[in-house]
Structure 1
Amino acid sequence: MRTPHPITAHSPPDPYEEPARLDEGPLEDFLRSASEGPGADTAPPAPAADGESGAEELWTPPDHRRRTGRRRSGRDRGAGRRAERRRPRRKRRRSPLAALPLAAKAVIAVLVLAAFLALGDRWALMYAQRTAADRLRDQMGLSAAPEVDIDGFPFVTQVLDGRLDSVSVTVPDVAADRVSLARVSATATGIRIDGGPTSVRGARIAGLDGEVLLSFDDLNRELGASQVTFTGHGRDQVRARGTLPVAGHDLRLRADARIRRDGPRGISTEVGGMRLDIGDLATFRPGTRRSEGLHLTRGSAARVAKEKRRVKELLSVPSVAERLGVPDTAVREALRDDTGLAELTGSQRFAGRLMKVNLIDLAADHPEVLRRLGFDPALLDGLSRLTRPALVDRLSIGFRLPKPPEGGELRLRDVRVQKDGIRVRVAGGGLAVGK
């Protein structure tokens, strides 16, 4: 046998060094036989003796297979096979629909188709709602597009049939005469469409039910100018409280307005109980009646009756004494003797007479008398110019619904005062929209 390689005993043999180590190989035998002539190698070679080297052995082809080291034992091969069995095998992925029957696949296909049709119907619905909102904004001159909600499903079949079940419209902040309507909402039913699906020219509304909100916040901003506030009182009354500047003086304002229907399409206000308080000195009620005008309050009249100097100044003016209803003899005694004056002013009847005198009329004839009582002449002049119609117009709450087209009907059903404002129910029918 050949000696192992000097470096390592287990290194694989080099196929290119093997022919060099052969002492006598087939090539040398072939050359020797060729030189000796034919018949030289007819005799078979002598068998090798026991214990001799491999120089006289038969040549075998070299093994060029790459060896990885020592030969694996049976135990190693068994462990490798067991590890191979424990390793998970990669299974071929199968489609989840492959195991379903044909009927189930058909049902899934129908559901997918229905989902796509529903999405298309919703897209057409949103497009129609947005288009209707833009047209309403342009036709009504609104600052913002209203909210349009078309009910019913599916939408496309309704359009193809030329009808809509129900359409709800909400319009915020609509200008109406002197005030703004906080919200106008209406629901139209039985709508017939005029035109084809791609060329809608208009529609006719069979029934309409809506609501109009007139907010107190808007009234405070538009009518009160941040100085007068409106609040609800009862089912049909609105109270106005605040201040009103007159000739540089802030007078306390109090007024009550009754809300009522004005015809089939409008509401109006009847303002009553209106007064302006000049501190605790006097009260101004605009109007031409005897109880209206500028009058002393009960407290100020009682204080004036106790001041002898001011009473004598009033009694010294014949027109004032006449307005007070004091006879001339009583006036002369009061001006001559304090005892007679005390008897005249000590009774509650005299204070009541002072409260009945219209100081606006007295200021026109004797402005110096009111100046002595503590009134500003500029304030008296401003109050004389402040008429009842002017104040009523400043506190008037009202609006009218637009006139419907010929053949249509639009009317108010109910007017009610609530906490947040005035709510008005609206009903109509036979209304035409568009061309």
Structure 2
Amino acid sequence: MDGPFDPYEGERVGEEEWEPPNHRRGTRRRNRFAGLPLALKAVVAIVALAAFLALGDRWAVLYAEHEAADQLKKSMHLTAAPEVDIDGFPFVTQVAAKRLDSVKVTVPDVAADRVSLAKVSATATGIHIHGDLPSSLKGADVSDVHGEVLLSFDDLNRELGASQVTFSSQGSDRVLARGTLPVAGHNLRVRADARIQRSGDRAVATSIGGMRLDIGDLATYRPGTGPGEGLHLSQKSARNIRERTEKVKALFEVPAVVDRLGVPKSAVNRALHDENKLHKMAGTPRFARQLMKLNLIDVAMDHPELLQRLGLDPDLLGGLSELTKPKLADQLSLGFELPDLPTGDGDIRLRDVKVEKEGIRVDLAGQGLTFGK
């Protein structure tokens, strides 16, 4: 039964004083969980700060790359700004030291003599900056540069396409040229082989050999004055002439031709008056071989009608005579010289040259270069 009630105290008499319950274990557990969100907040804050710093560092890199590209465009007189890629992280520490670890530069479409270099790419190391990055870049000193130059066959075929000649690789140092070449209103099939080699420290040269122009299946022209060069009948044409009495007579009626064929004049006179002897003489293998060795240009200058009687256009003679070996070699040349670069006291030199499937690739190296102010 409840004790007496004291109206002044507001509680029952004899009842024990109330105390709050002790739940230490439960409280400790709640405190532990209550601290977890704070740790997460700290982690999120650190991550956010790191992302902000990385974003700022990256922005500075992009800005510096843009400024460097503009400086290179001006100093190298390029039509378009090159691609610049600054390596290393963080960038701000490099800015403070005014020294970059590595920078890669790619310059497309660099004019080099008759052709354009598809791509010039180089990686520079040990770069000392002039001016303040990233906002006021004035120039740079570069300790070492290593890169490569690509002369693309696709570009060659496009830029030298007026002659409708295409180029393709043939081994590590040779290029094949195949196509057509207009001469005196005729499209002649052209073939040539180019040997690619380095010429000095700044140029690539091509040595053109095996040049020939096929006039359909009638004759072949090899520019030059050496053995086997000139305008020669094809095997098919030689066989056709042997079977045509009027064409054999046309040849025998030119003394210069008779002398070059090595046929005795007495035998020729008898053959011109006796068709059986004419057929017998023209039907020998020796006559066919001598006929194919005959340089028609040597005799056609004084006897232009001879070409026509053999089925060839006389106008071709003048066109082929003007197409000398050096002139044709120049049309097919793939050589180029490295453009002058504002490199201060240093220099850039070409190294190894090799022919690959996509084009001619040349390694380059440089030391002690200066760009800008």
The interval holding the TM-score normalised by the smaller chain is 0.7 to 0.9
2:207 pairs with 1:270: yes
Q: Which amino acid aligns with 2:345?
A: G
2:273 pairs with 1:325: no
Equivalence map 1:167-206=2 (5 Å): 167-197=103-133, 199-206=136-143
- 1:71: which partner in 2? none
Q: Which amino acid aligns with 2:359?
A: G
- 1:32: which partner in 2? none
- 1:424: which partner in 2? 362
Seen in structure 2, the aligned counterparts of structure 1 residues 215 and 328 have a Cα distance that, compared at 3 Å, is same
- 1:80: which partner in 2? none
CA contact (8 A) 1:220 1:226 kept: no
CA distance in 2, matches of 1:307, 1:362: 20
Consecutive unaligned residues in structure 1, runs of 5 or more: 1-96
2:80 to 144, 149, 153: 144
Moved more, 333-342 or 203-212: 333-342
Q: CA RMSD in A?
A: 2.0
CA contact (8 A) 1:403 1:410 kept: no
CA contact (8 A) 1:234 1:417 kept: yes
CA distance in 1, matches of 2:48, 2:208: 66
CA deviations over 1:17-55 (Å, ceiling 9, x no partner): xxxxxxxxxxxxxxxxxxxxxxxxxxxxxxxxxxxxxxx
Higher strand share: 2
- 2:161: which partner in 1? 224
CA distance in 1, matches of 2:178, 2:309: 31
| Displacement of 1:142 | 2.5
2:341 pairs with 1:386: no
- 1:157: which partner in 2? 93
Moved more, 392-401 or 195-204: 195-204
Tell me the secondary structure at the aligned position of residue 225 of structure 1: helix
State the TM-score, normalized to the length of structure 2. 0.85
- 1:247: which partner in 2? 184
User: Greater CA radius of gyration, 1 or 2?
Assistant: 1
- 2:194: which partner in 1? 257
| Displacement of 1:310 | 1.5
CA distance in 2, matches of 1:423, 1:213: 5
CA distance in 2, matches of 1:102, 1:316: 113
CA distance in 1, matches of 2:115, 2:258: 48
The higher relative CO (CA closer than 8 Å, separation ≥ 6) is in 2
- 1:357: which partner in 2? 294
Q: Which amino acid aligns with 2:347?
A: E
Identity of aligned residues (%): 65
Q: Which amino acid aligns with 2:106?
A: T
CA distance in 2, matches of 1:335, 1:157: 97
State the TM-score, normalized to the length of structure 1. 0.74
| Displacement of 1:226 | 6.8
Q: How many residues are paired up?
A: 339
CA distance in 2, matches of 1:133, 1:285: 49
| Displacement of 1:104 | 6.7
Tell me the secondary structure at the aligned position of residue 145 of structure 1: coil
Q: Which amino acid aligns with 1:368?
A: E
Equivalence map 1:59-74=2 (5 Å): none
CA deviations over 1:193-246 (Å, ceiling 9, x no partner): 123445433211111111111111110111133711111111111111111111
2:57 pairs with 1:121: yes
CA distance in 2, matches of 1:149, 1:368: 68
| Displacement of 1:108 | 4.9
Q: Which amino acid aligns with 2:48?
A: V
CA distance in 2, matches of 1:303, 1:222: 40
CA distance in 2, matches of 1:420, 1:160: 42
- 2:151: which partner in 1? 214
